[in-house]
Structure 1
Amino acid sequence: MRLIATLNRELFTPELRILERRAARGIIMRDHDILLLYTRRYNDYSLPGGGLDDGEAVLAGLHRELAEETGARDIRVEREFGILDEYRPWYKPEHDLMFMRSYFYECSVAESLGAVRMEDYEIANGMEVRWMNIHDAIAHNHGVMAAREASMGLSIARETLILELLVRERLAPSPSLALAD
């Protein structure tokens, strides 16, 4: 699988204590609409998916996360999209940084979604499933980043980078963007 990018959020020194984490994320599109999670706490759109449990295979974790967060049924992995590595601050004292490797897969799912089974922190953060026009989601996330909203989460840069790459590689330009040329 190709490495899309490595996002470094901190400078490195040999004594840094780094927590390593793996995550699987699903890309589910229907024309220009994409299945996303809107998180009220951070005011952003992100792809469904999340951290893998210890010893969990990537594809098993992807299926579990998509079913839990979106209620997706009949999940089929169509193709690998890529890997994104990132280093970011960690909030617990036993580690200075977190290294996260996210595996992205293009998937298809049943037409209708079932019940979601979000975790308590996801519910507390106001996370909800939405089909969104991908161009609108990108514009929204760019607005949040440009305004440097105090509530802005750390994952918005990763998510927006992937959404923009999807547009470049998988979709024709937005009609509103074509008019601006």
Structure 2
Amino acid sequence: MLILKTHYHPEVDSLENKSVFTRLATRSIALQGANILLLYTERYEDYSLPGGGLDLGEDKTEGMIRELKEETGARDIKNIQPFGAYEEYRPWHKPGYDIQHMVSYCYTCDINTELGETNLESYEIKNGMKAIWVNIHEAIAHNNKTMTTSNKKGMSIERETFLLKRIAEQLI
């Protein structure tokens, strides 16, 4: 899959003599005209693509479907196509590694606009995560504002905003 961007967090100045943990993830792109299915996370005041980490040995497409269903309640997922990957290096603050290397594989898909029940993890519920159809340009503007004005922003907002801009440019 084509790498759309490789991003280094400002705290990652070098990979030399660092222990690196690689995490593979997927992200889903479901569009209805200029509206896109996103997750709004109250804790971080941002919009993000549905998705998350792959289980060990899990097929990327199967992992994308699993994450999309769990986080949004999406149904009738079909016409899955690769869009591109976003690679990032960020600080890892847990024992054993210095840096996390995350590769997010992004796929477009069609889904039923009516969402079913979600199966969010406890931290996702605690963070105030909810699935919402939103105009992609409004989501980009919101994330841009959060990046410039909020002290709540998480590490993923730059990735998510980059991807939303690329989606708007190429698919809307």
Q: Same fold (TM over 0.5)?
A: yes
- The answer to whether 1:99 aligns with 2:85 is no
- Structure 1 residues 88 and 75, CA gap change in structure 2 (3 angstroms): same
Counterpart of 1:134? Answer: 136
Q: How high is the TM-score relative to the length of structure 1?
A: 0.91
Counterpart of 1:179? Answer: none
- Structure 2 counterpart SS, 1:164: helix
Give structure 1 regions of 4+ aligned residues with deviation exceeding 4 angstroms. none
- Computing the radius of gyration from Cα coordinates, the structure with the larger value is 1
Consecutive unaligned residues of structure 2, counting only runs of 5 or more, are none
Note the C-alpha offset of 1:166. Answer: 1.0
- Structure 2 counterpart SS, 1:161: helix
| Distance in 1 separating the partners of 2:151 and 2:95 | 23
Consecutive unaligned residues of structure 1, counting only runs of 5 or more, are 172-181
**Bigger mean CA offset, 110-119 vs 42-51:** 110-119
Aligned residues: 170
CA deviations on 1:145-164 (whole Å, 9 max, x unpaired) are 111x2211000000000100
Aligned counterparts, 1:1-181, within 5 A: 1-9=1-9, 10-147=12-149, 149-171=150-172
Counterpart of 1:177? Answer: none
| Distance in 1 separating the partners of 2:112 and 2:170 | 24
| Distance in 2 separating the partners of 1:23 and 1:64 | 12
Residue identity (%): 46
Note the C-alpha offset of 1:91. Answer: 2.1
- Structure 2 counterpart SS, 1:92: coil
Note the C-alpha offset of 1:44. Answer: 0.2
Check conservation: 1:77, 1:105, Cα contact below 8 A. no
Counterpart amino acid of residue 96 in structure 1: D
